[in-house]
Amino acid sequence: MFASVLIANRGEIACRIARTAKRMGMRTVAVYSAADAGALHVRCCDEAFFLGPADPRESYRSIARLIEAAKQTGAACVHPGYGFLSEDADFAEACAQAGLAFVGPSAAAIRSMGLKDNAKALMAEAGVPVVPGYHGERQGATFLKSKAREIGYPVLIKPAAGGGGRGLRRVERHVDFDAALEAAVREGEAAFGSSRVLIEKFVPAPRHIEIQIFADAHGNVIHLHERDCSLQRRHQKIIEETPAPGMTPALRAQMGAAAIEAARAVGYAGAGTVEFVADGTRALRPDGFWFIEMNTRLQVEHPVTEAVTGLDLVEWQFRVAAGEPLPLRQDQVRLDGHAVEARIYAEDPEDGFLPSTGRIVALQFPADVRVESGVEAGDAVTPYYDPMIAKLIAHAPERAAALDRLAAALDRTLIVGPRTNVAFLATLCRSDAFRQGAIDTGFIDRNLAALGATPHGIDGAAAALGVERLLQVRTAEAAASGSDHDFGTNSPWAAVDGFQLGGTRALIVPIVVDGGNAEAVVTHTAGGARVCVGSAPPASDARAFIAGDEAFVLRGGRQTRVKMRDFAAASSAAGAGDGMVAAPMHGRVLQLFVRIGERVARGQPLAVIEAMKMEHTLHAPIEGVVRRIAVGVGAQVVEGGEIMLIENAETG
């Protein structure tokens, strides 16, 4: 077995790999960028190597720096985790040339299966059903658009390299093809370093079912059952489970055999996942599934497979990379109960699932489910990397019990600071349709309102509690300093005797709630001060956390963020009005579609911002004329920062 490992990744997967490696007696080496100097995965390992700037291209995706790190630290092997360079054949080849064992398949196998078009050709030759589409070499935009018309809409545009939904675009109409292709190519280049795409027919009501396979260098290949990953948002999986609802032993054997043939076709060794799309309009059946791609790496959702098999797949990866045979035969692989995994993301379901960044003020996970996380309280969620904060995995004898356990665990999960999808996930776990197995990859998009993923408006009671706690902090600070400002002990507003020359003594306090301006009413009576936002007094069923000059209030799984506005700022706010276009999250400006002086229509695309490896288009909030553009292409922007100003057409 290897004496040491360099983990060429970050976050929760780096922590996960380090845990198994240490148990196996290896010395662990972390790598980190400038944005991750104090990250949990760095603290988890025995030593760490600095790669470079936050931009992944200069750090986690830099083959030269990673090889240098492995050489300088004396690592015997390199584990790529998932994402970044995990499916990069050049990286696997560079490791081999440097005398480093790559904990994954060979460069040849990655090239064969890493390119989806090549993989589909191999599968077609092996008799495995594939989705109709174009997987060839010609990549001209006009030609690809003609192939899409031949295939018939709707179609999917998919990067030929990589996976995880990056760059994937569904196109419903011929007129929308050009813009979708441009975006898919741009994201594919950014995420995988390749601009090649393929075009596929979109399968109606698709279910995403994948088979976990394992192979060694001695010719042994087995599968470790299936995972259903149909619950997706923007082509990103958020809940995965095994066994798949409605799966029969006969169909499992058939799909497993097809996956094994896929691995044998390229001389595969290591962990891999063969992904299929199934027709979700009817029950799962032998003639209703098609090969879509093979991921030549460990998957994010591997813990559900570990739960039902009792295996450590990372340990198996190390053993296979060290030349050992697989520990089990196919008939020895068990399937015990049901497991479900939920991915917790730093995002706002009530605002189109926009990524959320910032420092984690408080963090607490339940102890009765498996938790995989790469952060702790005090760490920051940055705009540079994937927004996943943690994974929760529940295991039980039956599916209903596993979903109940996961929902209860999500209820008890506490994350303060960035917004998260925790409450959304809990609602999803309790959805009747999901529990009945009536799901496909479009389920979430069709049920956003029912799942609570629509704007809710200000929670007045939560905001009032936040104001109350902030005033208490200000009063205590003023008392300690002897100041008569900020509601201190010498302020007339700090008096609690109820004396007033006429009427009830009340003060309108300007506040900021979730980034928007609001007002709190503070009244003083003989019983003390009372705070209301709207007509709501402070919530009694919520928890408030103070961080600097802000209060974060958790109530019913939702977070409300409250700040005090001083009177001067409130009365002299900038007059930008509704024409101010601000960055909805931290990120980088990829494109600007307009110029100063240009007239724009309401809803017209203005700019594209990239954050957490995803693109977000900003649209004009009003009709008018672009009077100011505050940023250029390539600029880093902060949440709430000005992008441009549009002057109202009526007032301009």
Tokens found for residue 57: 């291209």
- As to burial, measured by CB atoms within 10 angstroms (0-12 exposed, 13-18 middle, 19+ buried), residue 62 is buried
Which residues does the chain have with pLDDT short of 70? Answer: 114-117, 162-164, 481-505, 527, 566-578, 612-613, 649-652
pLDDT for residue 125: 81
Q: Which CATH class is domain 460-571?
A: alpha beta
pLDDT for residue 499: 45
In one-letter notation, the amino acid at residue 7 is I
Q: Answer yes or no: are the C-beta atoms of 609 and 618 closer than 8 Å.
A: yes
How far apart (Å, rounded) are the C-alpha atoms in residues 241 and 433?
15
Q: What are phi and psi of 577, to 5 degrees?
A: 65, -155
Locate the domains of the chain by residue range.
4-103, 132-201, 206-446, 460-571, 577-648
Q: Answer yes or no: are the C-beta atoms of 258 and 291 closer than 8 Å.
A: yes
Strand partners, 547: 550
Q: What is the CATH number of domain 4-103?
A: 3.40.50.20
Catalytic residues: 297
How far apart (Å, rounded) are the C-alpha atoms in residues 292 and 208?
10
Helix (H, G, I), strand (E, B) or coil at 134: strand
How far apart (Å, rounded) are the C-alpha atoms in residues 522 and 393?
45
How far apart (Å, rounded) are the C-alpha atoms in residues 308 and 396?
9
Q: What is the CATH number of domain 577-648?
A: 2.40.50.100
Q: Beta-carbon neighbour count of residue 630 at 10 Å? A: 15
How far apart (Å, rounded) are the C-alpha atoms in residues 335 and 253?
13
Tokens found for residue 504: 């009830």
- As to burial, measured by CB atoms within 10 angstroms (0-12 exposed, 13-18 middle, 19+ buried), residue 395 is buried
Q: What is the pLDDT of residues 550-586, one digit of tens each?
A: 999 999 889 999 998 754 443 434 444 568 898 877 7
What's the chain's length in residues? Answer: 652
Q: Which residues contact 652 (CB under 8 A, 6 or more apart)?
A: 624, 625, 627
Omega of the bond leading into 80 within 30 degrees of 0 (cis): no
Q: Which residues of 540-558 are buried (b: 16+ CB within 10 A; e: fewer)?
A: eebebbeeeebbbbbbebb
Tokens found for residue 586: 């931290």
Architecture label for domain 206-446: 2-Layer Sandwich (3.30)
3-state secondary structure 419-463: CCCHHHHHHHHCCHHHHCCCCCCCHHHHCCCCCCCCCCCCCHHHH
Stated pTM of the model:
0.83
Q: Which residues contact 118 (CB under 8 A, 6 or more apart)?
A: 111, 112, 135
Write down the CATH superfamily of domain 132-201: ATP-grasp fold, A domain (3.30.1490.20)
How far apart (Å, rounded) are the C-alpha atoms in residues 10 and 18?
11
Tokens found for residue 494: 């700090």
pLDDT for residue 175: 93
Q: In degrees to the nearest 10, what's the CA dihedral of 455, 343, 59, 118?
A: -110
3-state secondary structure 560-581: EEEEECCHHHHHCCCCCHHHEE
Half-sphere exposure in the Cβ direction for 111 (13 Å, CA): 8
Q: In degrees to the nearest 10, what's the CA dihedral of 102, 64, 162, 37?
A: 90
Q: What is the pLDDT of residues 215-248, one digit of tens each?
A: 999 999 999 999 999 999 878 899 999 999 999 9
Q: What is the pLDDT of residues 256-314, one digit of tens each?
A: 999 998 889 888 999 999 999 998 888 899 888 998 888 999 999 999 999 999 999 99
How far apart (Å, rounded) are the C-alpha atoms in residues 211 and 541?
44
In one-letter notation, the amino acid at residue 125 is E
Half-sphere exposure in the Cβ direction for 207 (13 Å, CA): 25
How far apart (Å, rounded) are the C-alpha atoms in residues 591 and 375?
32
DSSP summary character for residue 131: -
